[in-house]
Structure 1
Amino acid sequence: MATPEDLTRRKVAVIIGAGIGGLSLGIRLQSLGFDTTILERLDGPGGRGYQKRTSDGYVFDMGPTVITVPHFIEELFALERDRPGLDGEDFPVSVREAERVTTGESGGPHTRRYVKLVPILPFYRIVFSDGTFFDYDGDPEGTRRQIEALAPGDLEGYERFHRDAQAIFERGFLELGYTHFGDVGSMLRAVPDLLRLDAVRTLFSFTSKYFQSDKMRQVFSFETLLVGGNPLSVPAIYAMIHFVEKTWGIHYAMGGTGALVRALVQKFEELGGQVRYGAGVEEILVTDEWGRPVDRPLGRRVARGVRLEGGETVPADLVVSNGDWANTYLKRVPAAARLVNADLRVRAARQSMSLLVIYFGFRDDGRPLNLRHHNILLGPRYEALLREIFGTKVLGQDFSQYLHVPTLTDPSLAPEGHHAAYTLIPVPHNGSGLDWSVEGPRLVDRVLDDLEGRGVIPDLRGRLTHLEYVTPDYFEGTLDSHLGNAFGPEPVLVQSAYFRPHNRSEDITNLYLVGAGAQPGAGTPSVMMSAKMTARLIAEDWGTPALRR
Structure 2
Amino acid sequence: MGGGIGGLATAALLARGGARVTLLERHERVGGRAGTLDVDGFRFDTGPSWYFMPEVFEHWFALLGERVEDHLDLVPLDPSYRVFFERGTPTGQPDGASHPARARTVLDVTRDAEANWARFDALSPGDGERLRAYAAESSEAYRLALDHFLYTTFERPDRAVDASVLRRLPRLAALLGRSLADRVERRVRDPRLRQVLGYHAVFLGSSPYRVPALYSLMSHLDLVEGVRFPRGGMYTIVEAMEKIARSEGVTIRTASDVVGIEVSPAAVSPDGRTSPRAGAGASRRRTQGVATGVRLRDGEVVPADVVVSAADLHHTQTALLPPTYADLPASTWEDRGPGISALLILAGVRGDLPELAHHSLFFTEDWQGNFADVLGHGPSSEVGTLRVPTPASLYVSRTSATDDATVDHPAAPPGHENLFVLVPFPADPGLGGTPASQAALEELADGYLDQVGAWAGIEDLRGRVVTRQVLGPAHFATEFSSWRGTALGMEHTLAQSAMFRPPGASRKVANLYFAGAGTAPGVGLPMCLISAELVAKRLLGETSSRPLPTPLRPGFLAASRRPERLRGAAS
Q: Same fold (TM over 0.5)?
A: yes
Equivalent residue, structure 1, for 2:397: 404
Q: Is it true that 1:114 corresponds to 2:114 in the alignment?
A: no
Equivalent residue, structure 2, for 1:13: none
Partner SS for 1:152: coil
Amino acid at match of 1:222: Y
The size of the alignment, in residue pairs, is 498
- Preserved contact between residue 28 and residue 535 of structure 1 (Cα < 8 Å): yes
Q: Is it true that 1:273 corresponds to 2:266 in the alignment?
A: no
Partner SS for 2:217: helix
Q: Is it true that 1:421 corresponds to 2:419 in the alignment?
A: yes
Q: Partners of 1:427 and 1:162 in 2: how far apart?
A: 29
Partner SS for 1:64: coil
Equivalent residue, structure 2, for 1:164: 137
Cα deviation for residue 171 of structure 1 reads: 1.7
Partner SS for 2:348: strand
- Preserved contact between residue 354 and residue 428 of structure 1 (Cα < 8 Å): yes
What RMSD, in angstroms, separates the aligned Cα atoms of the two structures? 2.5
Q: Which moved more, 1:537-546 or 1:478-487?
A: 537-546
Partner SS for 1:68: coil
Deviations 1:106-136 (A, max 9, x none): xxx7223323222222222111113212222
Q: Partners of 1:230 and 1:50 in 2: how far apart?
A: 25
- Preserved contact between residue 357 and residue 422 of structure 1 (Cα < 8 Å): yes
Partner SS for 1:525: helix
Equivalent residue, structure 1, for 2:215: 238
Change (3 A) 1:228 1:283: same
Equivalent residue, structure 1, for 2:13: 28
- Preserved contact between residue 341 and residue 507 of structure 1 (Cα < 8 Å): no
Amino acid at match of 1:199: L
Equivalent residue, structure 1, for 2:309: 321
Change (3 A) 1:159 1:120: closer
Amino acid at match of 1:361: G
- Where does 1:179-198 land on structure 2 (aligned, <5 Å)? 179-182=152-155, 193=168, 195-197=170-172, 198=174
Cα deviation for residue 42 of structure 1 reads: 1.2
Deviations 1:474-528 (A, max 9, x none): 0111111010011211100011112101011222111111111111111111111
Deviations 1:218-252 (A, max 9, x none): 01111121231211110011111111344543221
Deviations 1:264-304 (A, max 9, x none): 1011001111111111110011111249xxxxxx9531111
Q: Partners of 1:453 and 1:137 in 2: how far apart?
A: 24
Equivalent residue, structure 2, for 1:8: none
Change (3 A) 1:169 1:184: closer
Q: Partners of 1:500 and 1:187 in 2: how far apart?
A: 16
Change (3 A) 1:183 1:230: farther
- Preserved contact between residue 359 and residue 423 of structure 1 (Cα < 8 Å): yes
Cα deviation for residue 185 of structure 1 reads: 5.8
Q: Is it true that 1:354 corresponds to 2:311 in the alignment?
A: no
Structure of greater relative contact order (alpha carbons < 8 Å, 6+ residues apart):
2
Equivalent residue, structure 1, for 2:504: 503
Equivalent residue, structure 2, for 1:178: 151
Equivalent residue, structure 1, for 2:37: 52
Partner SS for 1:49: coil
Change (3 A) 1:247 1:149: closer
Q: Please, which runs of 5 or more residues in structure 1 have no aligned partner?
A: 1-15, 86-108, 292-297
Amino acid at match of 1:162: A
Amino acid at match of 2:171: R
Partner SS for 1:430: coil
Q: Partners of 2:332 and 2:175 in 1: how far apart?
A: 26
Q: Which moved more, 1:354-363 or 1:446-455?
A: 446-455
Change (3 A) 1:438 1:185: farther
Q: Partners of 1:49 and 1:209 in 2: how far apart?
A: 36
Equivalent residue, structure 1, for 2:83: 126
Deviations 1:162-214 (A, max 9, x none): 33323322322333221222467678987984542321110010111111110
Partner SS for 2:520: coil
Amino acid at match of 1:170: R
Q: Please, which runs of 5 or more residues in structure 2 have no aligned partner?
A: 88-103, 269-285, 378-385, 405-409, 543-554, 565-571
Cα deviation for residue 548 of structure 1 reads: 3.0
Q: Partners of 1:331 and 1:263 in 2: how far apart?
A: 31
Cα deviation for residue 62 of structure 1 reads: 0.6
- Preserved contact between residue 152 and residue 160 of structure 2 (Cα < 8 Å): no
Deviations 1:70-129 (A, max 9, x none): 33333333444xxxx8xxxxxxxxxxxxxxxxxxxxxxx722332322222222211111
Equivalent residue, structure 1, for 2:323: 335
Amino acid at match of 2:390: Q
Equivalent residue, structure 2, for 1:199: 175
Partner SS for 2:467: strand
Deviations 1:289-320 (A, max 9, x none): 249xxxxxx95311111001111110111111
Change (3 A) 1:493 1:191: farther
Q: Which moved more, 1:169-178 or 1:272-281?
A: 169-178
Amino acid at match of 1:364: G
Q: Partners of 2:170 and 2:320 in 1: how far apart?
A: 38
Cα deviation for residue 419 of structure 1 reads: 0.9
Amino acid at match of 1:544: L
Q: Partners of 1:383 and 1:183 in 2: how far apart?
A: 38
Q: Partners of 1:79 and 1:167 in 2: how far apart?
A: 25
Amino acid at match of 2:250: G
Q: Partners of 1:192 and 1:480 in 2: how far apart?
A: 43
Equivalent residue, structure 2, for 1:136: 109
Cα deviation for residue 17 of structure 1 reads: 0.8
TM-score (normalizing by structure 2): 0.82
Q: Partners of 2:251 and 2:143 in 1: how far apart?
A: 38
